[in-house]
Amino acid sequence: MTGPPYPIPLEPLPGFWMVLGQGVSLEEACEDHLVLTYGVGKRTRLTYRMTSLSDLLMELCSGISLARLATQHEALDVCGQIALRELLGALNQRRLLALAWPDTEHPALRISTAAGWPDCQRRHLPGDVCIQLSALAAVHRIDDEMVLDYPPRGLRLGLLDPLITGWLLSFCSPGLLADHIGEAVACGRSESDVRCLIEMLVAWGILAPTPANRDDDREILALWECHALHFYTESHSGYNWGQLGTVPGASTRRPSPPLNRPRPSLARISLPVPQTNVDSGILAALSERRSVRYFAADRPVPLAVLSTFFQATVAIQGTDSIEFPGTGEGQSMDIAYGPSPSAGACHALEIHLCVGGGQVLPPGIYHYDAIAHQLCKIATAEVSDALRQGAAGSMGHHQPPPLAIVITAHFERVFWKYRGIAMANVLRDVGALYQTLYLGAQALGLRGCAIGNVDVAAFERINGMPFWREGAVGMFAFGYPAPSTGEC
């Protein structure tokens, strides 16, 4: 049986309840579907094939324990189980489900997910194990509610009870599991519910045994700094909680700031007329560069042009190794040189080409090997179409570009070397690469448009690894311009 792309918890976890998210309601409309209301006037229809599913879904309005949900799931036949998982998966995909702990009448925690519930298994922990809060968890206020965010899993814990909030914050210092359980029981909580909560928080990574078990994932996550991870997830689709995109004047009543801000000056010097007889193609390309959002659908880009474009803009031109004296073990790092500048010569950006129909290459997604100068197909046409359609939406229309580049960052390379400025260096590299891609396209008769957003969670599923190992950081649509193009 194949589950939905957004998994749902069906394990009978003591103390956990599944509920509808804040501002979400369900109502029966007729004998085969329910109407879901959420957001600002948003409504959608959930179709079901069995009356028992309707009754089960309606229980979400007041909350249903995961123990009962798991029992009801097992009582259904195979078709019923698939239907239930699909319906719950559809709700979860829209971020309309949450978990409450330890009950729904007076919950202490409300747990929401931005990108599907983590597929983690609860493991029994001995009482003498030492537990501590992850350094990547952050507590902050949203309106009148305190929340704890954990970006690596896309989890948000609404902290609804002051005593349990204080108890969770006590995990900032390492402590024995048995002691933490005892403190929560003293607050009137069930020992079995508290143990289950702690073991699930450990499974999700919000809490961690100390000293932590050494594994590849933990060591790479340890390279991230809290501010960088929260900035990355909140500024890209997929793991974000806030608004993204163009929202003019959303947070202020002030008018749009002027293009040229007046500023005091000790002296103003007029520059001479620029030279016009300089024989340089790069100056012409810089002058003529524009963002083009409409492309010729009937004019495929030849493979030779693609090859030249990649060679001129992103191919690695040479490699070297540098030593870091005084690091204890005399560590070294491989570096590279290419057309676009990169902080510390890390060259941690990877190129993935999304190809649509009517091109020389078969539709799909291809990874560009910048050292071997080769393309390797990694995903199907359907996946490429979805990403290119997302690019069209970001450009303000519905016509997907014939070609688009998804830029990802191999974060470990940069974070291994830098602290404090690592994420900023990644974004500086992306900005430099955007301009390099623009100029390369301009020189070859192509045109392009840098995209301000890319779905991190969607590309994570394509790439087959967590976003905090290699995550999407940019997108660039390109092709031959349409006869009538929108430029800026």
Are 349 and 209 found together in one domain?
no
Lowest mean pLDDT among 77-91, 99-113, 129-143, 178-192: 77-91
Q: How far apart are the first and last CA of the chain?
A: 49
Are 177 and 55 found together in one domain?
no
The answer to whether residue 93 is domain-embedded is yes
Q: Looking at residues 196-206, what average pLDDT do you find?
A: 93
Q: Looking at residues 28-43, what average pLDDT do you find?
A: 75
Are 97 and 113 found together in one domain?
no
Give the Cα separation of 195 and 197 in Å (integer): 5
Cα dihedral 363/365/366/368 (nearest 10): 130
User: In whole angstroms, how far apart are CA 467 and each of 8, 62, 249, 423?
Assistant: 20, 35, 31, 14
- Is 389 a residue whose pLDDT tops 60? yes
The tokens of 262 are what? 């007046």
Question: Which element (helix H / strand E) includes 395?
Answer: helix 381-395
Containing domain of residue 22, as a range? 17-101
Which DSSP string do the residues of 245-261 spell out, in sequence order? Answer: S--TTTT-SSPPPPSS-
CATH code of 414's domain: 3.40.109.10
Are 116 and 93 found together in one domain?
no
Q: Residue 50: what pLDDT?
A: 67
Query: For residue 245, is it left (φ>0), alpha (ψ between -120 and 50) or beta?
Result: left
Q: Looking at residues 194-209, what average pLDDT do you find?
A: 93
DSSP 170: G
Q: Residue 73: what pLDDT?
A: 87
- Is 212 a residue whose pLDDT tops 90? no
CATH code of 130's domain: 3.90.930
Contact 437, 448 (CB under 8 A): yes
The tokens of 344 are what? 């510390």
Are 293 and 208 found together in one domain?
no
Are 331 and 451 found together in one domain?
yes
Contact 219, 213 (CB under 8 A): no
Q: What phi and psi values does residue 39 have, to the nearest 5 degrees?
A: 60, -150
Higher-pLDDT residue of 265, 404:
404
Question: How many CA atoms, within 13 angstroms, populate the side-chain half-sphere of residue 206?
Answer: 23
Q: What phi and psi values does residue 100 have, to the nearest 5 degrees?
A: -110, 145
Higher-pLDDT residue of 486, 88:
88
Q: Residue 403: what pLDDT?
A: 96
Are 383 and 471 found together in one domain?
yes
The answer to whether residue 274 is domain-embedded is no
Classified as helix, coil or strand, 87 is: helix
Give the Cα separation of 26 and 4 in Å (integer): 21
Per-residue pLDDT tens over the stretch 307-328 = 999 999 999 999 998 887 655 5
Are 460 and 311 found together in one domain?
yes
Are 40 and 173 found together in one domain?
no
Give the Cα separation of 93 and 6 in Å (integer): 6
The answer to whether residue 224 is domain-embedded is no
Per-residue pLDDT tens over the stretch 249-303 = 555 566 666 756 666 767 666 767 766 665 577 888 888 889 999 999 899 999 9
Are 95 and 139 found together in one domain?
no
Q: What percent of the chain has pLDDT over 70?
A: 87
Q: Residue 110: what pLDDT?
A: 94
Are 91 and 119 found together in one domain?
no
- Overall domain count for the chain: 3
Give the Cα separation of 416 and 431 in Å (integer): 21
Q: Looking at residues 360-377, what average pLDDT do you find?
A: 92
Per-residue pLDDT tens over the stretch 409-442 = 999 889 988 888 999 999 999 999 999 999 999 9
Q: What percent of the chain has pLDDT over 90?
A: 49
Per-residue pLDDT tens over the stretch 440-464 = 999 999 999 999 889 898 888 888 8
The answer to whether residue 486 is domain-embedded is no
pTM for the predicted model, two decimal places: 0.81
Of the three residues 175, 196, 213, the one that is the final residue of a domain is: 213
User: In whole angstroms, how far apart are CA 101 and each of 182, 196, 485?
Assistant: 17, 10, 54
